[in-house]
Amino acid sequence: MILPPFTLHEPKTVDEAVALKTKFGKDADFVAGGTDLLCNYKYEINAKPHVISLGTVTELKSFDTTRIGAGALLDDVMTDSGMRRDLPVIPAAIGVISSHLLRQTGTVGGNLMVDTRCFWFNQSKFWRDSISGCLKSEGDACRVVWGAKECVAVYSGDLAPVLITLGASVTIAGPKGRRVVPLGEFYEHDGIKRHVLGEGELLVEIRIPTEARTWKASYRKLRTRESFDFPVLGVAVAAKVDGDLLLDAHVNLGAVHTTPLSRDGAISQFIGKRIDEATASEIGEAVADGLVIHNNTAMTPAYRRKMVAVFTKRCFLDVTGKRAVAETASR
């Protein structure tokens, strides 16, 4: 498999990048680390004739514990001592993204923007052609849900659920200037549409409220192997606690829906309660209850639903100090 040919553009500033994207519109993609985009290009998935590199835009690269430039390398953020001290859940979650090599190339912005995934889509051109494609590629029918008009490809990034539970927002730059959107409102349903970015827009930075440092947070990730694999479930929990008393909490699930999925609504009844093994289990069941998970990634929907309950329980035990917060965010 070789890359389809494209013209590479290397803007120096955000404004130049926006101008290029506005000019080429649907004929162009941004590329940061390329660890997601270029894999898809090799599969001839929605490859464009123009690629605009963000690697040359220095403004995007800097970060501290209040803001992370979209172009910051995953590995740099993961190993940063300030991050480890103030927001340890972020380095922990980054530590389970893909592999050591990819984290030295992949960026935080690219991770938030990682394309949705589905067994029927993430395949070679030859493979897709042999099933006549799907809604998200060359075809006109969904291979997962018969007759579906909307794409159910799964949002499979690890960081977004964590950042959403921490109350992060994103700064977006576009032809009309800059705007700030809560990350929880950034993603939009349908595996094709994915997010609210408009024509010519790009992610500039992620802002993290300082209050997040006073919350306890945990991220647990389900996958077959402890390295390399995309999540087939990610559970992020951030909570304001007083010992085992739950004062406030956010739960967000990755890799079970087309977007990161907030389950705050399912846990409101537990706010103000003390968390022990039994209540944590109840929270887990409540979060799993009624979830619709499709059969389009590794591991069966029934199993993943069960694991939503187990992982949520474990996360709540983590944040209330009942279980040591995992050094890495696995299982």
Partner 1 sequence: MTPPSWNVIGKPIPQVGSRQKVTGEALYTDDLRIPGTLVGKILRSPHASARIVRLDVSAALALPGVHAIVTGKDAPRPFGVLPISKDEPSMGIDRVRYVGEPVAGIAADDEWIAMEAMKLIHVEYLPTKPIDDAKQALAEVANAADKIHPGTKFGNNLHKMVEQHFGDLPKAFSESFHVAKGHFEYAGISHTFTEPMSAVAHFDRDGRLHIWSATQVPHYLHRAMSEVLGLPMSRIRVIRPNVGGGFGGKSDPFPHEMIASLLTMRCRRPVRITFDREEVFISHHGRHPSEIDVAVGCDKNGRLTGLDIDALIDGGAYGSFGVVTSYYNGVLAQGPYRIDNFKYRGRRAYTNKPMSGAMRGHGAVNTRYALELLFDECAEKVGIDPAEMRIQNALPAYTTTINDFRITSNGVVECIEKVRDASGWKDKRGKLPFGHGIGLACSFYISGSALPIHRTRTPQSTVHIKIDMDGGVTVHSMAAEIGQGSDTVLAQCVAEILGLDVSWIRVKTEDSDLAPIDLGSYSSRVTFMMGNAAIKAAENIREQLRKAACRMAGGEPTDWVFRDAKVINTVDPSKSMTYMEALDEALADNGALIASGWYQSPKLGGAYKGAGAGLSPTYSFGAYITELHVDTETGFVHLDKIWAAHDCGRALNPLAVKSQIIGCVHMGLGQVLMEQWDFNHRSKGNIRNPSLLDYPMLTAKEMPPVDVFIVESDDKEGPFGAKEAGEGPLLPILPSVGNAIYDAIGVRMRELPITPASILRALEAKKKGKS
Based on CB atoms, which residue is closest to partner 1, 221 or 257? Answer: 221
Helices vs. strands in the chain: H and E counts, helices first: 12, 11
d(CA 33, CA 112): 12
Residue 152 binds ligand FAD, judged by CB under 6 A: no
Does residue number 181 form part of the binding site for ligand FAD (CB under 6 A)?
no
The interface mask with ligand FAD, positions 39-78, x = CB under 6 A, is x--------------x---------------x---x----
Task: Note whether 202 binds ligand FAD by CB under 6 A.
Answer: yes
* Distance of alpha carbon 205 from alpha carbon 215, whole angstroms: 22
Among 80, 92, 98, 122, binds ligand FAD (CB under 6 A): 98
> The sheet that has 216-222: what strands, in order across it?
216-222, 233-242, 245-254, 261-262
Choose among ligand FAD, partner 1, none what residue 310 binds, the Cβ cut-off being 5 to 8 Å by kind. partner 1
Rounded to whole angstroms, the Cα distance separating 311 from 167 reads 21
Q: How far is the CB of 119 from partner 1 (least distance, A)?
A: 6
Q: Which long-range contacts (CB under 8 A, 24 or more apart) does 32-35 make?
A: 32/60, 32/70, 32/71, 32/106, 32/107, 32/109, 32/110, 33/73, 33/102, 33/105, 33/106, 33/107, 33/110, 34/105, 34/110, 35/98, 35/102, 35/105, 35/106, 35/110
| Residue 252 contacts ligand FAD per CB under 6 A | no
Contact positions vs partner 1 (CB under 8 A): 1-2, 5, 119-120, 122-124, 126-127, 129-131, 143, 222, 224-230, 298-300, 302-303, 306-307, 310, 331
- 148 interacts with, out of ligand FAD, partner 1, none, CB within 5 to 8 A per kind: none
Judged by the rule CB under 6 A, the positions of this chain that interact with ligand FAD are 29-37, 39, 54, 70, 74, 97-98, 102, 105-107, 109-111, 113-115, 157-158, 202-203, 228, 230-231
